Chains A and B, each alone.
Chain A
Amino acid sequence: MITEVLIKNFKCFKQLTLPDLGRITLIGGRNNVGKTALLEALFLFFDRTPPNMILKQYGWRGLTNVNTTPKGMWAPIFRKYDLDQQIFISVSIDGNEESATYKYNPNFMLELLPPGEMSQVSEGKSVRTDLEPIPSFSLDIEYDDGSKSKKITHLIISPKGAPGIKQDYTDTGLRPVVFLPSKVQISSKDNCDRFSKLTKTGREPDALKFLKLIEPRLKNIAVITEGLEPVIYGDVGLSEMIPISFLGGGMVRLLDIILSMAWAENTTVFVDEVENGLHRLLLPKIWEAIGNAAENFKCQVIATTHSHECLEAAHKGLANRPDDLRYIRLDRERDMTTAKTSNYEMLSVAIEHGLEIR
């Protein structure tokens, strides 16, 4: 479980310290204070193998295209778009401190020869002997997990403009964290993959029991392929099973969250604007379900919210596991972002007294 975080020079954060995260951590604060950016930084820290690790985050923000230049591809994650800075993310996981440093490298040597300098001859290709290597651009990422050897990854933009990745190590300890963006629907295939993982280990009843908290009629869930994509269906006592999405947005959202938690067993699920699609009256039960699932899957949930009702519901729904809950309000004072942490007892007093703690 992530218990402490330090972020430097990532997006809006000059420096942000979170000293005390819980198994269920809610992040609040005004618009544009960096709630989503915090989740993105943490997710990026764990998301180490895809060449599109940064690009896909732009997609979650609604951006469909970027220029394949360092400025277009990487500058947006640097504070003030300044590629000369170094991003530093440090995370304490179960007492072990790990870190990652992201540094722009304009002189990364990937390709020895410039493109277009080879020509076809009858017996193969010919190449000039006086060519000098030309640099590619790289975002050098150095992961430090406390072991002797540093793990270096290069996100690359080749001279031809193609994005890629080169890793100088093989990581066997990757953690399957999940990010649930606020604006982008989880694909049916992803959910089916996650559900299938549960089925393989005979644990689909675990997911079912959490979903039943908001839909007691639900007797069974299954992956059914009709047409091009597999879809999760639910049995609610009708003559045949129906797509789970027909049971309402709340059910879909909870399914997304629960399956993500099952997938991210022993690691973390990041949920942006967790209350999206959920009726306020359902929220306490949903938090109860999330709390139970977090214990069941030994998973941590870090979620952002704008909603006081969501916060109160988490307080209510997690009443039987108060030590698990933290609320962190981000605030920006001049140039610095600060994090104010409330535990369950502080939340109780704030809610009882009607204090505005968002």
Chain B
Amino acid sequence: MRKSNMPDIKIAICPECGKKFPVGRVPINKEKLILAEDRDIQGFMFQACKAFAKSNEIQLFCFNSASKLGTFIKSLATMENFSPVKTIVVARDADANVRSSIQSIKSALERVTNVNLPIPQEPFRFVSNDNIKTAFVLFPGPDEKGEYQTGSIEDLCLALVNDDPLLKSCVAPFIECAQANQEKGETLKYQSKSEFYAYLAGKHHHAGLRLGIAAGCKLWNWDDDRIAPFKKIIQEM
């Protein structure tokens, strides 16, 4: 990696939360990349990398939309310092259909024609060729039986804070009330998202935070078994 040639990344400080973040155009400056579907998954994975002492080795990007993943990787592949990249991990929600999400990622990787990427067939497993290894992870991850669950990163985070009495005593009645007060025939489409942000709203220090920021606020134990598959991938990158 040609570190001496790296352009400087300017750092700005968020006036609301005080967090530092890069501004301007972002170069590739690590050999291991995590490509996150959205800012919350990016923030969660960044905090996970920190928790597992890997944040110095891994660079995170956000591709914003599952439909743009293939083009995003193609664009990455045109950047300076892509050729030394050794590992790419894609992180996204499983959404309502695990198989569709898996197929979506595989199709996106297959559309990347300007670099030869190995295509993983299953989540949480690396595949490699001579130049690069790839994997993808799906939130909320597998259940106790190892079956991949539908859902999102909020489902995982709710599970991680499941023991907090706030969930049962405040959030559950709120969600019940909210469901009852939706317009006729409608339900909360993203209930776990509503639940998790209601939960954060009920925490003195966390009200108003995005999940990706809250992930750095010690709300859960990073050694939780439910995070283990993600930990394994990060450590094997």
Contacts and interface: CB of A to CB of B under 8 A. Distances in A.
Interface of A: 30, 308, 329, 331, 333, 340-342, 345-350, 352-358
B64 A329 contact: no
Nearest to A342: B78
Given A342-B78, A356-B80, A349 B24 contact: no
A353 B78 contact: no
B74 interface: yes
A340 B25 contact: no
A234 B5 CA distance: 46
A355 B79 contact: yes
B64 A340 contact: no
A357 B27 CA distance: 8
Contacts, number: 61
Contacts of B80: 30, 329, 331, 356, 358
B174 interface: no
Contact of B78 (A333, A345, A352, A357): A357
B30 to A, nearest CB: 14
15 contacts: A30-B80, A329-B80, A346-B78, A349-B75, A350-B75, A353-B63, A353-B72, A354-B25, A355-B25, A355-B75, A356-B7, A356-B25, A356-B79, A357-B78, A358-B80
A346 B77 CA distance: 10
B92 to A, nearest CB: 15
Interface of B: 5, 7, 24-28, 61-64, 68, 71-72, 74-80, 83, 114
Contact of A308 (B25, B71, B77): B25
A356 B71 CA distance: 15
Contacts of B27: 356
Given A345-B71, A356-B79, 14 more contacts: A329-B80, A340-B77, A341-B78, A341-B114, A342-B78, A346-B75, A348-B71, A349-B68, A349-B71, A353-B63, A353-B64, A353-B72, A354-B24, A358-B25
Nearest to B27: A356
Contacts of B28: 356
A351 to B, nearest CB: 9
Given A353-B72, A355-B25, A340 B78 contact: yes
A356 B26 contact: yes
Contacts of A331: 80
B5 to A, nearest CB: 8
Nearest to A327: B78
A354 B26 contact: yes
Given A308-B25, A340-B114, A357 B75 contact: yes
A357 B64 contact: no
Contacts of B7: 356
B72 A349 contact: yes
Nearest to B62: A353
B26 to A, nearest CB: 5
Contacts of A345: 71
A86 to B, nearest CB: 29
Nearest to B5: A30
B37 to A, nearest CB: 13
Contacts of B71: 345-346, 348-349
A212 to B, nearest CB: 33
Nearest to B74: A346
Contacts of B76: 355
Nearest to A29: B80
Q: Which of B63, B64, B75 has the most CB of A within 10 A?
A: B75
Nearest to B79: A357
A245 B79 CA distance: 38
